[in-house]
Structure 1
Amino acid sequence: MEMFKLSTILSGHHDDVRGVSSTNDDCIVTVSRDKTAGIWERHGSVNFSMEKMLIAHSSYVNSVTILKVAGNYYVVTGGSDKIIYVWDILDCSNPIFTLIGHTDNVCTLSSSSDGKIFSGSWDKTAKIWNNYQCEYTLVGHEYAIWDIIEFNNNSVLTASADKTIRRWINGVSVNTYTGHQDCVRALVDLNNGSFASAGNDSCIRIWSEEGSCLMELFGHSSFIYSLDLLPTGELVSSSEDRTVKLWKDVQTIILPATSIWCVSTISNGDIVCGTSNNSAYVFTRDKERYADSDTLKIFNEANANFAESKKTKEKINSDKLPGVERLLQPGTKDQQVIMVKNGSEVEAHQWDSSTNNWLKVGVVTDAVGQERKQLYEGKEYDYVFSVDLEDGKPVKKLPYNCTENPYTAAQNFINKYELSGTYLDEIANFIVRNAEGVEIGSNQTGGDPLTGGSRYVANGSDTTSMGSLSNYKDPFTGGSRYISSNSQSAARITQSSAKEFTCPKKYVNMESGNPSAIYKKLEEFNSKVKIQNSDKSFDQDEMSIIKAVLNKISGEESSGEDVIFQGIDKVVSRVMSWPIEYRFPLLDIIRLAASKIHFNGEIRKHLLAGDSLEVFIEKSSNIVSDYEKNNLDGIQARAIMAMRMSVNMFSCADGQIEIALSGQELLKICKLILSSSPNKNLKLAVSSFLMNLAYLLYNKIELSKDTPFFERLNVNQIELMSNLVELSSEFLNSESQLSFVEINAANTAQIDNTDVLLRLVNVVGILGKIISKHSHNDSFAVPLKSIKNSNLSITLNAIKMASESDLLTNTIGEFYITLYFFFIFYIFSLLIFFDFNFIP
């Protein structure tokens, strides 16, 4: 039988792909931590494109299954927001059913042949949904339920972090299967009266229905996340060790990602898997569906450049490894993996019998510290530090992998706990001091061909592992948090003025994106336009200009900025004649280009086709006209793109000019968007724009002392500030009240709009700081009056109420509670002072 080879790469998500499923040979569904699901349809024999994006979840989407009822297909998704959504695959604009009942992350979903939905959650329960109503709640496991499947048509099986498997009939537990040494994560029915299970102990077990362990399969070197069965009856598994395996150890497929979160089989015998590098991969045995040479080259280079910590391998003694001369000898079997010492590097190579060559599949990096990686929130890390920010406050967990940029890890930590950006350098320096991620004997960074970024390589050899304050049992994984051998107290990071409101030090950017995927989508739409009207499609020269722009964005060598500047305006103008649903890839390019490329003061000419920003947004997206006509089909996706593009315009001086000139109209667009029930992603984009606009005012008036900036543009900064205050305070008021409604309705400790709330608080804080410094200027009484008239005091009181709630405290962090109290006092002081002195 043929070995599996790469067929295609599905690139379109902006975060880990946590679940995959399929309806048939030509339709794949993926779900991601980027809070979306994607429906991919086949074009030709090989390639897929994301035709639909499902947006409703307010947090990570972690699970997916396909439901078939009366010949119709439905997509079912679940995630960290504790909600299950059911979507009609033909019309995914909105979910048709919402299933509420779980009180924590919905981490697994499956369905039965008779139309039932099975769900499992970190809340230690599983549920059986019949006709979209909860029929049974399965209670009995001690920790999270990681998988649930139908078994033998009359029962269900559940796998749990409590190391057990249970079998249930009509909601009653009838069997408990024990034997795994760690969390059980995956199950699959083998269709012969037996089933397979796998988990954190790296072992696959085959069980009889009665409970006997018939076989144990070893081969993975880390957690096993997922199992599935091919039409041939072969078992497939995916793991934290970068591999997908075909059993009984028939083939090992190595991928350029640390975590292979999920694997699923398609009816045509292909395999699709989702990974931690934001992509999904399809593998096939059919030569007609093999990947083309360009895609294969990207995949092989990504594998060759992948840096892997020794912690994902058994302990390696590099002195005993053979040299590169070992690669002159052929492999003993296809897919055989060996490690060789090449100078100061340790390389992994895999034998490809079809080409009779060794393929480099990774560089093994050295990670000094614990012998075993640490589990945190379902992912393995080289280090999980306990960080103490303030006396008397809870210790916070800081996860870090040695191949990760410490500034990225620090920023993620700041975002997670809603901390001040002024902590960034101190946290990053702490990581560098206490973790070692040196690629053996090398001080050079390595480019990631999938992202265009660089792998961070730290210098120095001293490693200090930071301990935690006490033992803690993780209720979701059953593991213990890391305690260092030297029993140090938690690391301390302090800041002298934590209680003082501090303005942000830079603009917010929305720069995540995959240039390669964007280009492929643009090529696809260009082909469709060419069929409909060849005069409107891009020719080869114009596609080359677009490629040059994307290369520049990715940091690769391009044809030169002259080429970009001479042609991009024509490309932008031409796409305005395309159907509106085909325009978003180019708008995505403009979004990235606005923050990545310096346009020498001519951003309007090159990126906006000569129009002002608000005119360009309307021409490209029809936002205002469609909102006014109540034509809401697809409008939120277009509005998200327009607002993200506007957010990135603040990155350069000429972009700031365009923002200032269009500021009043853009605020009107924001108000229109906010009046039409925007989703979480759109709210975040709007609040980011408002925060950047506030910072622009602060930057010009307070920091650069360029007060004439707005005068030179004939822009009334006081009117702009007043309208910004009014809109932001209204937005803040509605969002804070929404949070309390959710708390009262769901009795939950998680609030999903804290990112938006904090941006809006920053807006009012920044503007309050400007006003307070210009209290002698009568003109500043106008925006202050807007603050008073907008019932901001109600909003601030709501925030105060929230800060007194244990529920919100757990969500936004102790630091911001202090900030809120200070901020409330600060603003009310202003209101009292100006009420008597300036406001009639």
Structure 2
Amino acid sequence: SVQMEDVEMGEAATQPADYVLSRVLIGHKGEVKSVASTSQGMILSGGRDETVRMWIGRRGEYSEHNSLPQQPKGAVVYSIAYYENDEAWRIFVGRKDGAISVYGSGSGNDPLITLKHHTSVVSCLHVDSVKGKLISGSWDNHIIIWPIEELTPGNEVIAALMCEGHTMSVWCVQSLNREDEFHFLSASADQSIRLWHNDQCIKEFKGHSDVVRSLVLLDSSHFVSASNDGCLALWNVENNSPLSVEKAPIDEFIYSMTLVGSDTLVTCGEGGHVIVWKVSEMRGKGAISHIQVMHTPVSSLWCVTALKNKDVVIAASDGRIFVLTRDESRMAPIDIRENLDAELSVRIAAQLQQQQEKESETVTIKVAIDDGNANMELKYVKGTGPSLAAEKFITDNNLPISYLNEITDYIKANIPEAINFAPKRRKVEHGGESGGKMHFSILVEDGRQLTCSFDQSDDPDQVAQEFVEKNGLQIKYLASTAQMVRKEQAKSNSVFYDPFTGGGRYVPEGNGGGMGMGGGDPLTGEGRYIPGASSGVGGGVAEGGDPLTSGGRYVPGASKDVLMPNASLPIDKKRPRGELCPLSKYFVFGAEQFSQKAYDRLVEDNEKSNEGVRLREDQLEMLKELAMKGPEGVRDEQMLVDTLNVGLEWGMEQLLPIVDLFRIALLNEDVNRYYSEGDRSSIIRERLFALLVSDSNDNLKAIVCRAICNLFHHEAGRKMISSEMKTFLPLLGIHLLSSKPILQLAAASALSNWALLLLQTSEKVCELGPREDGIREIVKTLESHLSFGGYREDALTRVLQAIATLMWGDVTVIKLAKSRKIVDIVNRIKDAVVDERSKSLCRDIVEMTFAV
């Protein structure tokens, strides 16, 4: 059976029976994102396979009754709600494209009406049957209140209310079911819960430290919230603070929650755990306590709902639906329980192994240097700095000190205790001047006390660079050391006397000479450029203009300057900056050197094609000009797209040269727009998808991936392709691991382009969403590969860029990547690349995981 362990249960006589597995429903072809139920006990489910499925239960068995496919393609189901009255019933389906499909009596498999007012994923739906209203929440941060009686075919004017206030995605809505006024609650990724009266927010509740994912109403005044911070909070709508907060026994995200009866809560979330909670009275305030934990053999459980018979239904990330019960008569047959036990065994074994490793004070790992065998032992003692273990390992094995940072990173990536090590606070002692030099001391995290000496006239950045290199410090010390040098220099006496010109000479960053003179530059006079000054002295260069760059010069310490170098930007390990990270522009594949051989093949393939799709001589000449001159050589866009449309109808064997010319043409903005808008866009998406999943040769698939890259070159293409990430990413992952280097690079480039697009469109959104899905697909593709030694290095570099860009600055995505062991994957890629820039990017990604 689904394995369980009881946690802090009270007396057995007062406790209800534990939940056990009742049934496993199999039908969906992708992860199930939402489940709901009807008053008759029918189960409704929807997910990534773009369908809503109906399950009817008879005598404890469930069978699929009907399926509602969503159109157009890509309309993944994220939320479901059900409504019925004496006259009719309605099923509401919230989709990835922002639409809500409404099904009802007599509609068959086609919706009665489709509501298209949200601009992003409809993440939650709720029906207030008392008021006859549907409430929808979305990743566009908005909530809409819909009058259900007006959601009828042909009705183009609907008196819906838009609710604005949340600053991040809305994850749950829940009405208070009051007879008088219409009030409802909303939960958001901005960590807040809001109380609304119609479309006006009248109260805000703060108490969670992460995304608030689910709400359950206990009565008209009390509710419970569940969050990614792993806590449940009990609230009274009259109070701003929670009555009580209970931490889950499993430190993982909580995604969904349902109420069973009047005093039992069931939650599910990341890690495949189901937790049962008891709500009870305690000194008039109420309390929540967990009474059961169940383990399932899946990575995530997305949604849970209760049935009329008090069984619970849970949507799983592997496409299955679990039904749990407390009724022994509905318990699953022994063979089903044994099969599930077998799946659990691997996960449990891994957990036990981790627990045994934690019990040891000294952790020993095998290390391989460069391409050698892993025959060197490295010992790490819990509670000590990883750099100390790295330094001892280097000394014991007579290795160069240059290995220090790399070995330190390796320890952190492979030993969990090292990740949690809290470094000593750096202590700075200001020593003033000694022996004609200025100096200060720094106590660094590995325990060394280092002294930095310099002259008043030394360049702070050069001093910091030499100090870091001399002492073998990590690059993170560079900016802080330079800043301390500047501070010490600023404390020095500001009066200067030039031994040749006296007091009235040019003083860098000074307002005047030491003797009260005007401070004129001996070369340029008084109107010279003063770094850091707002204007030149004596009416020289206005607004601090640099004599070389004019007004837009670099000002030390000004973080918003457009010419600010990366080294002087504020340090944020979650946002590493470098030559490769984050991505700043899209990868495109332009016109290559014209090949007469390729053109001859095009002419030959044209002759082989059917007469109805054969190109004319002038059309062939236009394609030749496109191949020779690239997108700039396009003179007649309409004729070009007409030509390409004909050529794209060719058979698979003749298609390669046409698709290659098509991807070049996409670099032309007008051609890109033509294929990205209207009905033509869906035709092209389906054509590209069909070619990627077909049995075509790898060269053709590489050209298709290049075409996808070139779609990103213009705004219209980016808008069109952005909605197809879930469709294409799994295919790109497959082709990323192709044996053909040309396909590896093309697939990695397309993957990177999607990462950059997601960064640009959702950089300020800190909840699980599109960037999370991108990370999941990359991990799913790469996690089973033990070595990347045979793969193209520039392709691996672009994969690293995609990973770093998806994670960049998003705490939630970084945590997810960390939990999915992205560090292990990156370290394996690091072993396969030679370019130091790529290795540095690997280190940046690892540092990102340490920063959360």
* TM-score bucket (shorter structure): 0.3 to 0.5
TM-score, length basis structure 1: 0.44
